[in-house]
Structure 1
Amino acid sequence: MKVADPAIEVLAAERFRAAIPELAELLVDAVETGASVGFLPPLTAADAERWWGTLTDDVSTGRVLVLLLRVDGRTLGTAQLRLAQLPNARHRAEVAKVLVHTSARRRGYGRMLMAAIEAAARNAGRHLLVLDTLSGSDAEGLYARLGWTRVAEIPQYAEVPHGRFAATTVYYKDLKGQNP
């Protein structure tokens, strides 16, 4: 059976609320497999749903754009674009919570989500993007291949399982002058 092409959408507020259980499943999967995305295992589905629910106002007002990647009706990935709101920062945004379900990794979905994030940033009038990721993670290779510039590594940035602390690496990408 042929697998359908991935569909990526920027979720409107109503669709976001309906997708919270699917987004929670992605977050739980990421945390349980070692991703440094702000939570420590074990993360329950209920706690993950509550956290996603805290974004409802920001999604409704357009301060946060949540993208959803689906294949054959199954949610396999998500990413966020957090639009800076201060008057001197309206040209930039932060990329956050780029998650691809472990069952769907190494198929190009992360690359597709990042391309969609860049397009959403352009549509929102943003050209400078920043993100951070766990130092030494697979995501670092992805961001480098996609033309992101490594800025710095911050030691002991995030707590990871067993009471240890891990470094994060900060990246940026300036979309100005780049072809979409």
Structure 2
Amino acid sequence: MILRLTESRFDAALEDLTEILHACVQDGASIGFILPFSPDQARIYWQARVQPDVQSGALDLFVFYENERILGTVQLIPAAMPNQPHRADVAKLLVHPKARRQGLGRSLMVALQDRAIQLGRTLLVLDTRSSDPSRILYQSMGFQIAGEIPNYCRNPFRDRLEPTTYMFKNLG
């Protein structure tokens, strides 16, 4: 089951969200964090960076529940600037490493796209490490490559820089 997580349910979801983020970073996901990365750092990310934006309505946080546990999540961040009322960013598509290859990521992206359309957003933008397998998922869902930036992000395991790929999808 996919839900849009509200402020009233955020605290109850915090431990699952923390576990997913921590597990994904430990598994090598390039989502802004590098090793070493503790569960406390993951919790702080959710509480300090995401929860206030959920509360203010600056982002929509989708979660995939199974057996009362969250196994995946993704964020829709509508552009805030007046000249971009049609655009939104896709951020932090996370599926717990133990739950991958079951369609959870695709289901979360479908829910996100439905919400974007509901909000009148017709252009979605995201970036992903060029070597990340999620790129295949995004392309299979109609995202196109806008370009690649070399030396964009640090590898989560090693002290080396890697490229990122910017992608977009027109929903209109």
Q: TM-score band, normalised by the shorter chain?
A: over 0.9
Among residues 163, 167, 170, which one is paired with 1:171 in the alignment?
167
In structure 1, how many angstroms separate the alpha carbons of the residues matched to 2:100 and 2:72?
9
> SS of 1:163's equivalent?
coil
Deviation at 1:17, TM superposition (A): 2.9
Q: Post-superposition shift, 1:16?
A: 1.9
Q: Counterpart amino acid of 1:79? A: V
Task: Give 1:137 shift.
Answer: 1.3
- Structure 1, residues 105-135: CA drift from partner, whole Å, max 9, x if none? 1111111011011011112221110000010
| Matching of residues 86-105 of structure 1 within 5 Å | 86-105=81-100
d(CA) in 1 for partners of 2:99, 2:60: 22
- 2:15 is aligned with 1:21: yes
- Which residue of structure 2 lines up, in the alignment, with residue 139 of structure 1? 134
Which consecutive residues of structure 1, in runs of 5 or more, have no partner in the other structure? 1-6
TM-score by length of 1: 0.91
Give the number of the structure with larger relative contact order, counting CA–CA contacts within 8 Å between residues 6 or more apart: 2
Letter in 2 for 1:19: A
Alignment of 1:35-54 (within 5 A): 35-54=29-48
1:18 to partner: Cα distance? 2.5
| Counterpart code for 1:106 | R
Aligned to 1:77: 72
Runs of 4+ in 1 over 4 A off after TM superposition: none
Distance 2:103 2:66 in 1: 12
Q: How many aligned residue pairs are there?
A: 170
RMSD, aligned CA:
1.0
Deviation at 1:148, TM superposition (A): 0.5
What whole-Å deviation, never above 9, does each CA across 1:24-79 have from its counterpart, x for those lacking one?
11111110010000001221111111111122221111111110001121211000
**2: distance between equivalents of 1:174 and 1:31?**
30
Unaligned runs of 5+ in 2: none
* SS of the residue 2:165 aligns to: strand
- Alignment TM-score, normalising by the size of structure 2: 0.95
% identical equivalent positions:
41
